[in-house]
Amino acid sequence: MEEPQALDADLVSQARAGDGDARNELVRRYRTPAFRFALQLTGHREDALDVTQDSMLRFLDTLDLFDGDRPIQPWLFRIVRNKAYDLGRRQKVRRAESLEDLLERGMPPPVQAMPHPVERLELNELRREVWKALNMLNETQREILVLREYQDLSYGEISEVLGVPTGTVMSRLHRARHALRDLLSGEESN
């Protein structure tokens, strides 16, 4: 069986050579993770779609600068992050949607098995609270939490996306987790 990473590298070199199918395949493969990351940064579905489209175009335009032997996701996420911040600067006011509104649209997520309805309700409530609190944090804290908690990137990959040493990733992430926890405990006590 072929390694997915090797296939990505092949696609990148074919796309560089002007192969339209390879470009389309790269877009199809990475647009959903890019969209989810954009959505987690912007908190708004239409903004995330715009950011994703811009990012995919930018990604294809800069393929010549990309080291094809490295994983695509950190490189692409770096582009998404820059595009999301460009949009944020233009908009000035952040317009994040609630988790309920976001879940109402698009492809429904798969139903996850949960042992007990009460547990499911508690987890759903916590998800909503975490999403709300996340959108109240500053950009630096939000992005690092999104990369680790939602995107499950390793410290090495996060350091590549953010352009900071891994030691900084750990301390910054810990401060962000503290801030998120403080917001959540504030909500619970209200």
Partner 1 sequence: MSRHYDTGFDEALLSGYLDGELTQADRQRVRLHLEDDAAARELVDEMRRIREAARSTDLPAPLDEEWDESPRTAGSRWFRRSGWILVVGWAVVLVGLATWGLFAGPDSWWQKLLAGALVGGPVLLFLSVLTDRMQVMKHDRYRRVEK
- End-to-end, the C-alpha distance of the chain in Å comes to 54
- Is residue 7 close enough to count as binding partner 1 by CB under 8 A? no
Residue 136 CB coordination number (10 Å): 15
CB of 52 to partner 1, least distance (A): 8
- For 17, which DSSP code? T
With CB under 8 A as the contact rule, the residue among 10, 69, 119, 181 that binds partner 1 is 181
CB of 105 to partner 1, least distance (A): 6
With CB under 8 A as the contact rule, the residue among 49, 136, 137, 164 that binds partner 1 is 49
Query: DSSP per residue over 20-71, as a string?
Result: HHHHHHHHHHHHHHHHHHHHHHH--HHHHHHHHHHHHHHHHHTGGGS-TTS-
Residue partners of 52: CB distance under 8 A and separation at least 6: 31, 34, 35, 38, 80
CB of 106 to partner 1, least distance (A): 3
User: Which x/- pattern, by CB under 8 A, does the window 124-143 give for partner 1?
Assistant: --xx--xx--x---------
* Interacting span for partner 1 (CB under 8 A) from 11-19, 68-76, 81-89, 179-187: 179-187
Binding site for partner 1 (CB under 8 A): 27, 31-32, 35-36, 39-40, 49, 53, 57, 61, 99, 102-110, 112, 123, 126-127, 130-131, 134, 145, 148-150, 152, 154-155, 166, 170-171, 173-175, 177-178, 180-181, 184
